[in-house]
């Protein structure tokens, strides 16, 4: 096929995609009055019509006997990226735990230094008391007064003797307590160090898995011709649009009329402002994000620190019913909670999908939903 002809077909595909996006945005509401449309300026990902419906759409070549269809290749690539996403969450969790453990070890080291200084001071006090006793002939001043023939001096000496005994007991108790604290600090530091090393090993294992899955997915995609790659993107959008339409038809958002809080508005504004920036696993901005990197940074920009990973966001943030969802809430996807997005309203969400894609907007129901959580409950 000539260069001009290929360019013409690509131009036709681009025009079709734009027209489809406009059609979706202006389509009438469905499923209880909620249509897939963004509440603000950013435009949701388009959902083109079925292949072959309009002249100019790219046509997938017929696979050779025994070869995989483009749709099966799409599913294989999606599966590999999903596995990479799950490993990315494990990597991020291990990284955040390692950081927390490292910070705690630093705190313990400071406590150890303070405890050692305390013991040095206590030993100095004990030494001073021992030297004073030696100079007085082996008896402390209080004991000497207690042995006096004068009744007044005897009572005064007895009182001083009791005070001295208490001071000595307190000194020994404090010394023992401080030494016990140091032993506990050493034990805690050792346990934290072991966990930190275990987490580092988990990070390395997760990193290798991530890199392997991404490489395998990229190799599959790189084998495709330019027209097949364009068709692959169209197939992805069609699958998402189909899932979104089916989900909306259940009436899942029929009662969803929640309004964003001020913090929620700020989080949505931050997240949508990142649209177009690439997905990079482990990234938290400002130039690239993974899925939970985007949501955690969006809420941090809104003034609220939330867990770093999608699994921890699911575990630690309050859950809300879909009928109560409001802009700024986080949607956790897949059974393993390996993906997260932010609800922006009108059936749409913003997310960082996967390697090779950029932060974009899509339908809330374009993937299987596990739960909805609220950072500013």
Active site residues: 291, 339, 351
279: CB partners within 8 A, 6+ apart: 288, 289, 290, 291, 352, 353, 354, 355, 356, 357, 358, 359
Contacts of 46 (CB under 8 A, 6+ apart): 17, 18, 20, 21, 24, 237
Residue 193 to residues 100, 107, 169, 206, 361, Cα–Cα distance (Å): 11, 13, 36, 20, 42
The CA distance from 102 to 95, in Å, is 11
Q: DSSP alpha helices (H): ranges in 309-375?
A: 310-316
CA-to-CA distance for 194 and 101, rounded, in angstroms?
A: 10
Determine the 3-state secondary structure of 123 from DSSP.
Answer: helix
Q: Rounded to whole angstroms, how far apart are CA atoms 51 and 228?
A: 13
């Amino acid at each position: 096929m000539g260069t001009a002809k290929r360019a013409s077909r690509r131009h036709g595909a681009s025009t079709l995609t734009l027209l489809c996006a406009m059609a979706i945005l202006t389509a009438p509401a469905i499923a209880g009055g909620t249509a897939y449309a963004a509440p603000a300026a950013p435009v949701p990902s388009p959902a083109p019509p079925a292949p072959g419906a309009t002249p100019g759409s790219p046509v997938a070549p017929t696979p050779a006997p025994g070869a995989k269809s483009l749709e099966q290749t799409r599913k294989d690539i999606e599966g590999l990226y999903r596995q990479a996403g799950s490993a990315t969450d494990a990597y991020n969790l291990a990284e955040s735990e390692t950081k927390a453990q490292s910070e705690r070890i630093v705190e313990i080291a400071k406590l150890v230094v303070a405890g050692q200084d305390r013991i040095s001071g206590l030993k100095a006090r004990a030494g001073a008391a021992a030297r004073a006793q030696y100079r007085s002939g082996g008896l402390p001043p209080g004991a000497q007064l207690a042995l006096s023939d004068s009744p007044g001096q005897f009572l005064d000496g007895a009182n001083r003797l009791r005070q001295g005994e208490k001071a000595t007991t307190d000194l020994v108790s404090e010394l023992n307590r401080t030494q016990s604290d140091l032993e506990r600090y050493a034990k805690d530091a050792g346990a934290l160090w072991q966990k930190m090393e275990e987490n580092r090993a988990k990070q390395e294992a997760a990193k290798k898995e991530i890199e392997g899955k991404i490489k395998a997915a990229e190799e599959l995609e790189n084998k495709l011709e330019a027209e097949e790659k364009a068709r692959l993107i169209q197939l992805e959008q069609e699958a998402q649009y189909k899932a979104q339409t089916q989900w909306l038809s259940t009436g899942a958002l029929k009662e969803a009329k929640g309004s964003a809080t001020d913090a929620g508005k700020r989080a949505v504004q931050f997240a949508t402002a990142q649209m177009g920036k690439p997905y990079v696993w482990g990234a938290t901005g400002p130039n690239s994000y993974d899925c939970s990197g985007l949501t955690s940074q969006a809420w941090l920009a809104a003034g609220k620190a939330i867990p770093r990973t999608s699994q921890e966001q699911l575990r630690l943030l309050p859950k809300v019913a879909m009928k109560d969802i409001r802009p700024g809430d986080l949607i956790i996807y897949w059974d393993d909670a390996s993906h997260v997005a932010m609800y922006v309203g009108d059936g749409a969400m913003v997310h960082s999908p996967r390697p090779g894609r950029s932060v974009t907007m899509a339908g809330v129901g374009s993937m299987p939903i596990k739960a909805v959580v609220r950072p500013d409950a």
